[in-house]
Amino acid sequence: MYSKVRVKRGALNYFRRMARKSYPKEIQVYLLGKIVSMDEIHVTDFVYTNKYFKQTTNTVVWTQEEYNKLKLRAELEGKKIVGDAHSHPDWDAVMSPTDYAGAIIESLWLCGICSIHVNRTRFRFWTPTSALPCKIIYS
């Protein structure tokens, strides 16, 4: 339902650089922010982990300890975990069935995906309620 995502261009570009640097392994961040209206979400923070539970060429999972720290941070800052973003090495920037299931299970409003092909990236935001990607608005 959320068709617009407001995000800082620098934060998105930094994620792209980190995704290229980690290639061929996936990376994942959680997105903090707020729901502004029925069709717009503002992402204020890309939160990176210090340690993954699992990180391969097609899977990435945070440790429970890191995720608990993230939930506490969001609560203390008065923000919501609005979604996550991860890379897709050598794959398109579309939600896979696993991505969709994860978004539903974790009750995430957004799923950001960054494809990486020969050191080039493409980033899209998706919601589990729409077959179309969200429009990115840079702030």
Please state the φ and ψ torsions of residue 61, each to the nearest 5 degrees.
-140, 135
- N-terminal to C-terminal alpha carbon distance within the chain: 21
Q: What are the residue ranges spanned by the domains of the chain?
A: 4-138
Distance between CA atoms of 69 and 75, rounded to whole angstroms?
A: 10
| One-character DSSP codes across 56-125 | -SS-EEE-HHHHHHHHHHHHHHT-EEEEEEEEEETS-SS--HHHHHHHHHTT-SEEEEEEEETTEEEEEE
| Per-residue confidence (pLDDT) for residue 119, from 0 to 100 | 83
Which whole-number Å values give the CA distances from 18 to 23, 46, 79, in the listed order? 9, 12, 24
Sign for the CA dihedral angle at 108, 100, 98, 22 comes to negative
Distance between CA atoms of 66 and 26, rounded to whole angstroms?
A: 17
Instruction: Find out whether 134 and 5 touch, Cβ atoms under 8 Å.
Output: yes
Query: 10-residue block means of pLDDT along the chain (139 residues)?
Result: 89 97 97 94 97 96 97 97 97 93 94 93 94 94
Q: What's the CATH code, domain 4-138?
A: 3.40.140.10
| Per-residue confidence (pLDDT) for residue 33, from 0 to 100 | 98
| Per-residue confidence (pLDDT) for residue 2, from 0 to 100 | 64
